[in-house]
Structure 1
């Protein structure tokens, strides 16, 4: 079995770090609470909010990535992949540098460093090989990459990926989401990694 997984908001969770940095930067009023998508919408509703959001993303995905967490159940899923002898690939749409980032931090290297720090690569029993991690500049390039890998399954939090016209029809589409339906008919919406494990390995 060949399994592909997205990185941002699928393996790595930014729900706590985004609001924390926004508070530090004074981008939200005291007492404001919300998750990443709510923060994005809040900032974009204000003057200059899009640039503020891009600057925030550039920092969190780069220098601030150490504050992000791994989604519960990812380690267990990868352990099951290893046990089953499955090949696992990370395929992510991630530019090398963030918008509005004066420090020009290499976001791809930051992501690789986070994966290594989380023990997901670089250890003897790691389920991920360093050579199986791909970062692409655009969404179409991401889909081209995952198509070239001839994956049996791809797991992503973005519907847009599965709706690309050249997304391979033979690849099972697992949408990692807690959003309410409707979802596209060809996507299989699962809300937790425990559900994904059960769906993939019939656990």
Structure 2
């Protein structure tokens, strides 16, 4: 079995770090709590908010990535992949440098560093090989990459990926989401990684 997984907001969760950095920068009130999407919507509702949001993204995905967390259940899923002998790939749409980032931090290297620190690569028995990580500049290139890998399953939090015209029809589409339907008919929505694990590996 060949399984592909998106990175941002699928393996890695930025909710707490976005809220923390937004508070530090005075972009939200002291004590403010919310998800990444809540921070985005709050900033975009204000004049100049889009620029502030891009600057926040550039920092969090780069220098601030150490404050991000792994989604609960990802480790168990990867352990199940290893036990089943499945090949696992990360295929992500991630630019090399962030918007409004004066430090020009390499976001792809930051992501690879986070994966190593989290123990998901470069460790004995890791289900994810460092050579199986792909970052692409565009959504179309991401879909082309996952198609070239001949994946049996692809897991992503964005419906847009599965709606791309060249998304391979033979690849099972698993949508990692807590939003309510409707979802595209060919997507299987799962709210947690425990659900995904059961959906993929249930006998």
Q: TM-score scaled to structure 2, two decimals?
A: 0.99
Equivalent residue runs for 1:172-183 within 5 Å: 172-183=172-183
Q: 1:151, 1:61 → 2: CA distance?
A: 27
- Aligned position for 2:106: 106
**1:75 CA drift (Å):** 0.4
Count of equivalent residues: 203
Gaps of 5+ in 2: none
- Aligned position for 2:185: 185
RMSD of aligned residue pairs (Cα, Å): 0.7
CA contact (8 A) 2:92 2:142 kept: yes
**1:2 CA drift (Å):** 0.2
Matched, 1:91 2:86: no
Gaps of 5+ in 1: none
**1:34 CA drift (Å):** 1.2
**1:38 CA drift (Å):** 1.0
CA deviation profile, 1:35-58 (whole Å, cap 9, x unmatched)? 100110110110110010000000
Q: 1:138, 1:51 → 2: CA distance?
A: 21
Q: 2:148, 2:142 → 1: CA distance?
A: 10
**1:155 CA drift (Å):** 0.1
- Aligned position for 1:162: 162
Q: TM-score scaled to structure 1, two decimals?
A: 0.99
- Aligned position for 2:17: 17
Q: 2:123, 2:156 → 1: CA distance?
A: 25
Q: Provide the secondary structure at the position in 1 that maps to 2:140.
A: helix
CA deviation profile, 1:114-159 (whole Å, cap 9, x unmatched)? 0000000001111100000000000000000000000000000000
- Aligned position for 2:46: 46
